[in-house]
Structure 1
């Protein structure tokens, strides 16, 4: 017979059943270990919070070779911090666990019907106990909340089990299982249809925590010595040629037991060596797998009650599946108190039963070991020290360790039970009930991570939130809680505590990307740029997390004027694109954009707003049109009202750059009306535009208003406006006054004022002029083309009133060629409304009004020339105007 793959000797149906259950067991083991060791519970997840920090970015500051005012705008940089969150897991996980648990229990019940009378009654008593612990009586079947549902369920299963055990023993195991499975389906149906609870099966799954925990404890105690037996099997092979069996067995067993003791001493705080400790769950997994051969080897002790083939073997697998499925389910929900309680019980069991079994072998078989005999073959046929006594002694050791820890395993398991109820209520939207159970959980285990983390998320009081988060870091911490605690400290302006928290988290979870990210941004806030760059560059998590790190790296680089060499993948993300544009703006990059992504939703968020703003600034800086092509879609959405002003400002800058000066100035006027506290900034911008457009008198009015509200260095622009007007003495007086006032405060700035003063004295001061290339090209095209003349002349007339020749030509075209007096009037009226000190435009407007019979309008406008023209020239024009007015009036009266 094959001693290892013994199941191959079984009948085909039992062999298949064994392999299927064994496969399920391996799946549950793998699931638990992967979730637990990999920290892969989906219960916790990373929450991202984005915020903007702004750089002061100059948009108009290079018109003069000397000192001038600067008009700046906020250049937004997107930063993203990470902290922990939790979520209710899909109901499918719970339903899958419920099915595995109860189908396995039904399998155990089916096998229990083969027991002899005493053991059968004992097994049925245990079944009734499990039903009572399962919480069926609490679910309110048919409105009953007492023992009635328990009695009902018991009456469903007990008669059938008694029938199989005592009346018709010929019924096969498969049929017994199917009948019990049918009764289970009836039970679930009664619960689902008759319970007063919403989602009653979810409550059943959570209430089933207690019977599942009891089965886990029984299984853990059963297999506590299996590794020692495995060492015995390994060191006492079947062949007699082996030597030193005694030494090998004792040495390996002692190494294993000493490792367990080291783990125990570490758990109770007596030992803190920087060494590798044996993992309790690794030992438990090995024990569970070895246990199937171990329980077969001691069939002689229980075989008369229930033979190994196939009943005990299948029963063992069913109990193992329940245990690991429960561990996996609780690990999936990050229920650390339960996991910790099982971990302690595993440790106690392996120490107690392992030690006693080791002594049992030594006392009974030392001579056979010395003779190199295969002791594992007859290890359960004791001589001096009865096996049952070894088991009782092992249980005493387990109890001693349990009491020594002040029942901590018990309290931890109760805390885990309350965590499950709290999670269930939270999933059902019952927040108050959930918080109540979380607090009950912390009452049983003050430092359990799960409950403290959940309470911290619900807590609004900062001090209490900090207390919960601190508690969550003390026993079974996760990187999520360190990230959340650091963020809480930052929100309370406790920056050093936040730094220490992130650093402590990184000591426990080295290279954790979220903690590195948050620590880097905290260093960035304190202007420690090299540390911020270091942590961001050393954080390489991959996937979507890497994009967040790269986004922050670009933001930090832009903020400190550093070269951006971070990854440019995932540029379709608006956060990454926005910061990439900011880097290019800071670096004065003049390259064209490879592509422009248009936000799908017209309602903007922080990221899409920042992207559009930076896109607009980049287009303005590099004379690109993409911003103007897409921005109108987002401007009139009510939800975007908080972003409207900034996006309108960027639109104005791009309109001006595109030659649509009238539309740009109109937007600035609208902004100025709303943002009165920043009138100095808007008047300075308008003044700079006017100077650039060659309208110094217009500029002086704006800049005088800016100087009155003490806009920085507005006097420098104002002096240059006076200089261009020909009033050099006033310009020099203003400069000397500013230079003297800055001499004692800022000698460097005083020197700059002095250089501008000297340049004006030597007639070397100049101001960058607008080229009017677009306007000149439009006029040339309008004159030459025979098609679409109207389009070209309309653009000439409306877009830029500072190009006087084009405005006058457009008005003349619409008046004379198209006979459209209204449009011609509107063009000229807009021109003098914006370029209000333009002599040619005012005269053209007056001429138009006289020509079209708007004599009063012409007369009202005449006074504007009084402040512009020299006195003699004005008087001559006024005399000519009176004559023309009389002629126009006579013509009007005649036609009337």
Structure 2
């Protein structure tokens, strides 16, 4: 090949198909490296476990004259108690006195009454959760493998006779090892899948090979692509097994691995050959010193491979700079695109056959590597690492000697050795490959052929993944256990067994398997899982010790740092909790979880910090908190925003409340995150538009754990637009439940009634009905407003509207003589004489005798007029 873009010399159809195949290979290599970079995060996700806590906050304060404070408090208490005739009697607390009664002796000399409430905090830790193998991965993997098979079958059908027979024998063995009988086609466990595939693909292949040698490679590609496509689409319709793609993938993985390992061995000399190109190319070469430079580069490279060999065989723990074997494979695969033709030009036409064979093997190998990397099948990952390292160390060393011994005279002449590298003068390629292959076998023998056991273990891990995805947990557990027996302490099996144990509620076994997963290939996720298992068994200090050990192994892992800070919040070592939260905040990709915990930390630290005691029990002040700028850091996560609003209420600071979509489930069942955010947001903003949502959440029947709190939140939302509705909510709650659970609702109800009873209303001019309705929503107990309401709606000939407003107010101000008089007269106006009589008796019990007698005259006069009208009507 004389050009970097050698395919430009091909005809249009060949060039299009080849570039398409190379594009697929490039996509596969990029995907492989991406999965390799992500590591365990491909299949183990960090999920956040939230814990609910609360802090007391001051929501409002009421300024009262000191002299009249005691009588106002007594009046407020009597107002609540007097509402019993309509909504039941407000019960005292468990100690026999109401919240405000308990304060009587404490507030005699005070002029401010606070409204106390609570805000909710969330503390969060990371929990590793293993996900099932996604269906898109299985289908994508099969797509690449089938594309590779199409290329291989097309090329094989054009091979010479004996090469063809050998290749087809290998293909039959490949299909036999794929266990297609697992598809149970047509409901039978016989090998129909194997037979149909051999008949269709093998028959067409033999026909093209034996009788149609004239068919071009482009047509062969289209023929086999069509046949493979038809089989891939049609066969799933004749099977009833679930997850067809994952089933075929799992059972056929072992023969694919065999093909991939062979291809990896083939690529073992590409990087060494690349060094020859660099040192002998006229544009980049070193002239007559090229041999020395080649030996230096090759020796340095082989030494790094030796160090990598020592690392993967665990003969050294030194932290050398290692290049991943998968990166070496990717580089070799790219170099092989240009080198394959030179290596095979003496016996295989590249354009007609070799190019398609190479890309076909490349697609299958890359797909297999990407699949095992995504699923973090450690046993098979190590098989591929061994294949790359063993072959490059053994074959690469022999190939270096092959080049030096064959071409050292030409090196000294400064000629372009790379052009004749595969045209030996002394030692044949076959001899080099034979000796190199023996070296690979020797390396395998040094490790007692453990790689073969690892391949089998990886196969059983894949079967375990399949049955875990189909929820056959017992079968999956058995396969994972076999894998552990073959490859003891492999991370994949241990972590998978721990996840299955957690799924089945066996926490003790989960801890043991997490511990086993840490022995050989430790991971942050396994450390976190083990810590959680220890915590569930009440082994608190063991959990802390385990996380500290994990941070020693992974010093920059933010999830472990966050979890350790979370555990320290349970102790008196508050500075350690703060330290690890801050460390997690700096090192983690998404800092919102540690920031959420930092806000919770500050919330608890500042709980007892106020004007009289500005320093908390931890020696921290509000000024210290403000320096963190956490209050100004808005977020789109529920937990972070819930904590930010809670701390803002705690320290009395104003901040912009960020409205976050709570993401409620279809049945409106609240998680602790949903609840904490909605409660804090509604309480902080007093957003009246949230009242319908809270009402729905109260009555949905799925939020029993938050029932009383949601009622209180609904009352707060209603209070901004309809105070009677808000008071009704609290009053009905305190009547229905006399326990301490409703103490906060009872206290809030008393405070609001006290506020309405003692605060003068600022009512603007009222001209139309809407003005009156809005004013009554804000000042429903104001006597002057109620008098104006009666007069206005009487003129409008809507006396029932005025009556309802008086009835609403009377439920909460039954001790007001003036309100009682308005109610009685309105009852008479509506001819509700029996209600008027009841009201007159109530008036007698709450007013002075002189006042009662004066009103009685008015009442009797009105009553006489009513009786007269009735007589005239008859």
Q: Would you call these one fold, judging by a TM-score over 0.5?
A: yes
The residue that corresponds to 1:136 in the other structure is: 180
Cα gap change, 1:47 to 1:850, in 2 (>3 Å): closer
Cα gap change, 1:693 to 1:180, in 2 (>3 Å): closer
Say whether the 8 Å CA contact 2:28–2:366 is kept in structure 1. yes
Matches within 5 A, 1:729-740: none
The residue that corresponds to 1:857 in the other structure is: 838
Structure 2 distance, partners of 1:179, 1:688, is: 84
The residue that corresponds to 2:670 in the other structure is: 605
CA shift, 1:288, in A, is: 2.6
Cα gap change, 1:810 to 1:458, in 2 (>3 Å): farther
Matches within 5 A, 1:208-223: 208-223=252-267
CA shift, 1:860, in A, is: 4.8
Per-residue CA deviation, residues 292-326 of structure 1 (Å, 9 max, x unaligned), is: 454434447xx34x344532343223212221122
Structure 1 distance, partners of 2:157, 2:688, is: 83
- Report the more deviating stretch, 123-132 or 45-54: 45-54
Say whether the 8 Å CA contact 2:270–2:332 is kept in structure 1. yes
The residue that corresponds to 2:646 in the other structure is: 582
The residue that corresponds to 1:346 in the other structure is: 388
Cα gap change, 1:848 to 1:370, in 2 (>3 Å): closer
Structure 2 distance, partners of 1:115, 1:853, is: 111
Q: Which runs of 5+ in 1 are unaligned?
A: 695-769
Mapped pair 1:278 → 2:342: no
Mapped pair 1:643 → 2:710: no
Cα gap change, 1:370 to 1:582, in 2 (>3 Å): same
Mapped pair 1:111 → 2:152: no
Say whether the 8 Å CA contact 2:825–2:859 is kept in structure 1. no
Say whether the 8 Å CA contact 1:76–1:610 is kept in structure 2. yes
Structure 2 distance, partners of 1:411, 1:53, is: 51
Structure 1 distance, partners of 2:40, 2:53, is: 33
Structure 2 distance, partners of 1:691, 1:354, is: 90
Cα gap change, 1:61 to 1:133, in 2 (>3 Å): same
- Report the more deviating stretch, 19-28 or 846-855: 846-855
SS at match of 1:106: helix
Mapped pair 1:538 → 2:519: no
Cα gap change, 1:792 to 1:7, in 2 (>3 Å): closer
Say whether the 8 Å CA contact 1:662–1:834 is kept in structure 2. no
Say whether the 8 Å CA contact 2:154–2:224 is kept in structure 1. yes
Mapped pair 1:171 → 2:248: no
SS at match of 1:270: coil
Q: What is the TM-score of this pair, normalised by structure 1?
A: 0.76
Structure 2 distance, partners of 1:175, 1:682, is: 81
Mapped pair 1:57 → 2:57: yes
Which of residues 308, 322, 326 is equivalent to 1:263? 308
Structure 2 distance, partners of 1:676, 1:241, is: 91
Say whether the 8 Å CA contact 1:547–1:570 is kept in structure 2. no
SS at match of 2:117: strand
Cα gap change, 1:818 to 1:205, in 2 (>3 Å): closer
Which of residues 511, 514, 522 is equivalent to 1:469? 514
Matches within 5 A, 1:310-389: 310-364=352-406, 369=411, 375-380=417-422, 386-389=428-431
The residue that corresponds to 2:740 in the other structure is: 677
Say whether the 8 Å CA contact 2:688–2:718 is kept in structure 1. no
Say whether the 8 Å CA contact 2:635–2:658 is kept in structure 1. no
Which of residues 760, 764, 772 is equivalent to 1:772? 760
Structure 2 distance, partners of 1:161, 1:815, is: 96
Larger relative contact order (Cα-Cα within 8 Å, sequence gap ≥ 6): 2
Per-residue CA deviation, residues 500-537 of structure 1 (Å, 9 max, x unaligned), is: 55555555556445444444444445433532552354
- Report the more deviating stretch, 366-375 or 411-420: 366-375
Say whether the 8 Å CA contact 2:185–2:235 is kept in structure 1. yes
Larger Rg: 1
Per-residue CA deviation, residues 683-711 of structure 1 (Å, 9 max, x unaligned), is: 655555566566xxxxxxxxxxxxxxxxx
The residue that corresponds to 2:612 in the other structure is: none
Cα gap change, 1:370 to 1:145, in 2 (>3 Å): same
CA shift, 1:234, in A, is: 3.3
Say whether the 8 Å CA contact 2:53–2:122 is kept in structure 1. yes
Structure 2 distance, partners of 1:480, 1:405, is: 29
Per-residue CA deviation, residues 86-143 of structure 1 (Å, 9 max, x unaligned), is: 4445534433432332332233233234444433322222121112112223322334
Mapped pair 1:393 → 2:435: yes
Structure 2 distance, partners of 1:662, 1:223, is: 78
Per-residue CA deviation, residues 390-446 of structure 1 (Å, 9 max, x unaligned), is: 322322221222233233322322233233333334444544444443344333334
The residue that corresponds to 1:725 in the other structure is: none
Cα gap change, 1:223 to 1:656, in 2 (>3 Å): closer
Q: Which runs of 5+ in 2 are unaligned?
A: 67-104, 108-112, 607-624
Mapped pair 1:450 → 2:492: yes
The residue that corresponds to 2:617 in the other structure is: none
CA shift, 1:351, in A, is: 1.2
Matches within 5 A, 1:656-667: 660=723, 663-664=726-727, 667=730
CA shift, 1:464, in A, is: 1.5
- Report the more deviating stretch, 65-74 or 206-215: 65-74
Per-residue CA deviation, residues 432-467 of structure 1 (Å, 9 max, x unaligned), is: 444443344333334333343333333221111222
Aligned residues: 794
CA shift, 1:667, in A, is: 1.8
SS at match of 1:142: helix
Structure 2 distance, partners of 1:662, 1:128, is: 79
The residue that corresponds to 1:22 in the other structure is: 22
SS at match of 1:773: coil
Cα gap change, 1:282 to 1:630, in 2 (>3 Å): closer
Matches within 5 A, 1:810-889: 813=791, 834-838=812-816, 853-854=833-834, 857=838, 860-861=841-842, 864-865=845-846
Structure 2 distance, partners of 1:804, 1:177, is: 92
- Report the more deviating stretch, 82-91 or 396-405: 82-91
CA shift, 1:276, in A, is: 0.5
Say whether the 8 Å CA contact 1:665–1:686 is kept in structure 2. no
Cα gap change, 1:131 to 1:691, in 2 (>3 Å): closer
Structure 2 distance, partners of 1:169, 1:520, is: 72
Cα gap change, 1:489 to 1:772, in 2 (>3 Å): farther
Say whether the 8 Å CA contact 1:574–1:608 is kept in structure 2. yes
Cα gap change, 1:690 to 1:141, in 2 (>3 Å): closer
- Report the more deviating stretch, 120-129 or 11-20: 11-20
Q: What is the TM-score of this pair, normalised by structure 2?
A: 0.77
Structure 1 distance, partners of 2:803, 2:6, is: 105
Structure 1 distance, partners of 2:286, 2:837, is: 129
Structure 2 distance, partners of 1:628, 1:195, is: 53
Structure 1 distance, partners of 2:9, 2:338, is: 14
Mapped pair 1:99 → 2:177: no
Structure 1 distance, partners of 2:212, 2:140, is: 33
CA shift, 1:559, in A, is: 3.9
The residue that corresponds to 1:733 in the other structure is: none
Which of residues 728, 731, 737 is equivalent to 1:668? 731
Structure 1 distance, partners of 2:773, 2:144, is: 77
Structure 2 distance, partners of 1:246, 1:788, is: 98
Cα gap change, 1:648 to 1:181, in 2 (>3 Å): closer
Which of residues 194, 200, 204 is equivalent to 1:150? 194
Cα gap change, 1:791 to 1:116, in 2 (>3 Å): closer
Cα gap change, 1:238 to 1:310, in 2 (>3 Å): farther
The residue that corresponds to 1:32 in the other structure is: 32
Which of residues 318, 341, 344 is equivalent to 1:296? 341
CA shift, 1:625, in A, is: 5.7
